[in-house]
Amino acid sequence: MTSAWHIRRAVFNLHAGGVIAYPTETVYGLGCDPLDGHAVQRLLDLKQRPPEKGLILIGATLEHLLPYIDISDNALLTKLAGPTLRPTTWICPPRTDTPHWLCGRHHSIAVRLTRSPLARRLCECYGAAIVSTSANPAGLAPARNALKVRRYFDAQLDYILGGSCDPDAIPSRIVDLISGKVIRD
């Protein structure tokens, strides 16, 4: 069981511009403050991920995601916040003030309301959405435990929040919120 102290340490590192690792529904994620361009660039460098691919944001509540998405239709907001059979990442129109490093080459932003109890607590204590990308260097399998994260990144991360991922979970679906088109099932 991850203690409140561990969550506070992770949150402290997010506020300090750090890059952390934490368990999500399916794999460990790398995360940082989405508004901190230096932290995002450091995360991209660690992951060897091209910035044009864009990033996913996770939040515990719809309010965490609203500063980044341009959705005024209540039916779409209800759909985004509603229950799904499995974790779902939604592709949404970004607000005009959303940092370009989150969208990459796309005219959209990817967001997910996390179902992971630990990731939810992390976002709740942070009070905002965080970046969420799989904890692995490009071309390698995503880490599913803290030991694999350490093997990949050693002391390059500011904090690793211990916990478990669902070993039977499959990656999140990716769906365009407006069109309903499934991008990854």
In this structure, how many other beta carbons lie within 10 angstroms of the beta carbon of residue 3?
A: 9
DSSP 144: -
**Higher-scoring residue by pLDDT: 105, 171:** 105
Q: At what angle do helices 117-126 and 4-15 cross, to 10 degrees?
A: 50
Q: What is the pTM of this model?
A: 0.95
* 44 CA to centre of own chain: 13
Phi/psi for 123 (5° steps) reads -65, -40
CATH assignment of the domain containing 72: 3.90.870.10
Query: Structural domain of residue 153, as residue ranges?
Result: 4-184
Q: What is the pLDDT of residues 33-92, one digit of tens each?
A: 999 999 999 999 999 999 999 999 999 999 999 999 999 999 999 999 999 988 999 999
Indicate whether 15 pLDDT > 90.
Answer: yes
Looking at the 3D structure of the chain, how many domains does it have? 1
Distances in Å between the alpha carbon of 149 and those of 21, 47, 139? 7, 11, 15
Q: What percent of the chain has pLDDT over 70?
A: 99
Indicate whether 1 pLDDT > 70.
Answer: no
> What pLDDT score was predicted for residue 51?
96
> What pLDDT score was predicted for residue 168?
81
